[in-house]
Chains A and B, each alone.
Chain A
Amino acid sequence: GAVVSQHPSWVICKSGTSVKIECRSLDFQATTMFWYRQFPKQSLMLMATSNEGSKATYEQGVEKDKFLINHASLTLSTLTVTSAHPEDSSFYICSAETHGTETQYFGPGTRLLVL
């Protein structure tokens, strides 16, 4: 149980295009989902926290107009990288937790490569 999936796992796009990444909790309801950017074998950078049905809370330095987050249901959150540039190339990881717990279940990550 407690599986989080991400789709796609790999995406290559041209500079200037937009990319949508989905994060789903497969067998539990996620009241809160987190989006991270992962640097190779280093710490994860928290980008934003989203609660179902409300606007995401973005961390300082993260452009909310560039990284659009939608948490439309208790099992789905999406991250859209708008007008992607090569410097946006990275691993993007989501995690999900249920209200009242500190247990976070991480997705497998999405590798984005912007050419």
Chain B
Amino acid sequence: DQQVKQNSPSLSVQEGRISILNCDYTNSMFDYFLWYKKYPAEGPTFLISISSIKDKNEDGRFTVFLNKSAKHLSLHIVPSQPGDSAVYFCAASETSYDKVIFGPGTSLSVIP
């Protein structure tokens, strides 16, 4: 069974508006969460992360929110830009390990 879930395979957003990508996980041992962005024919690149001691981490236009009790996190991109169009992967790991478990990804299209 998938430990990291991204239930929306795709999302379309108008340029300048907010993009919200959601992620749910089942393993309560996860305490470090990451978002990766992937363009076609390339490997996923690291975008932003958050540890379980925080509920929010912000980096420029990207903000990640973590709700541990709900085992849910989300990535907010504001304002969205056409160059943000990519597949976004949510990932999680346990502190003791480097191994990262990935969700299936959400394809974001930002429409000019």
A residues with a Cβ closer than 8 A to B are 2-3, 36, 38, 40-46, 49, 91, 95, 101-106, 108-109, 111
Q: Which of A43, A103, A108, A111 contacts B105 (CB 8 A)?
A: A103
Interface contact B104-A103, CB-CB below 8 Å: yes
Interface contact A43-B46, CB-CB below 8 Å: yes
Complex CA–CA separation, A108 to B91 (angstroms): 11
Chain A residues, Cβ within 8 Å of B34: 41
Q: Which of A3, A41, A103 contacts B98 (CB 8 A)?
A: A41
- Whether a CB of chain A sits under 8 angstroms from the CB of B59 is no
Interface contact A2-B2, CB-CB below 8 Å: yes
Chain A residues, Cβ within 8 Å of B107: 102
Q: Which residue of B lies closest to A40 (CB)?
A: B98
Chain B residues, Cβ within 8 Å of A101: 9
Q: Which residue of B lies closest to A44 (CB)?
A: B43
B residues with a Cβ closer than 8 A to A are 1-2, 9-10, 32, 34, 36, 41-46, 49, 87, 89, 93, 98-102, 104-105, 107
Chain B residues, Cβ within 8 Å of A41: 32, 34, 46, 49, 93, 98, 100
Query: Inter-chain contact count A-B, CB under 8 Å?
Result: 58
Chain B residues, Cβ within 8 Å of A38: 98-100
Chain B residues, Cβ within 8 Å of A109: 99-100
Q: Which of A2, A46, A105 contacts B42 (CB 8 A)?
A: A46
Q: Which of B2, B36, B49, B105 contacts A44 (CB 8 A)?
A: B36
- The distance from the CB of A27 to the nearest CB of chain B, in whole angstroms, is 11
- The distance from the CB of A105 to the nearest CB of chain B, in whole angstroms, is 6
Chain A residues, Cβ within 8 Å of B32: 41
Complex CA–CA separation, A108 to B100 (angstroms): 8
Q: Which residue of B lies closest to A49 (CB)?
A: B41
Q: Which residue of B lies closest to A45 (CB)?
A: B43
Closest 5 CB pairs of A and B: A46-B43, A106-B102, A40-B98, A44-B43, A43-B45
From B9, B34, B98, residue with most partner A Cβ within 10 Å: B98
Q: Which residue of A lies closest to B40 (CB)?
A: A102
Known: A46-B43, A102-B107. A3 touches B2 (CB 8 A): yes
Chain B residues, Cβ within 8 Å of A91: 98-99
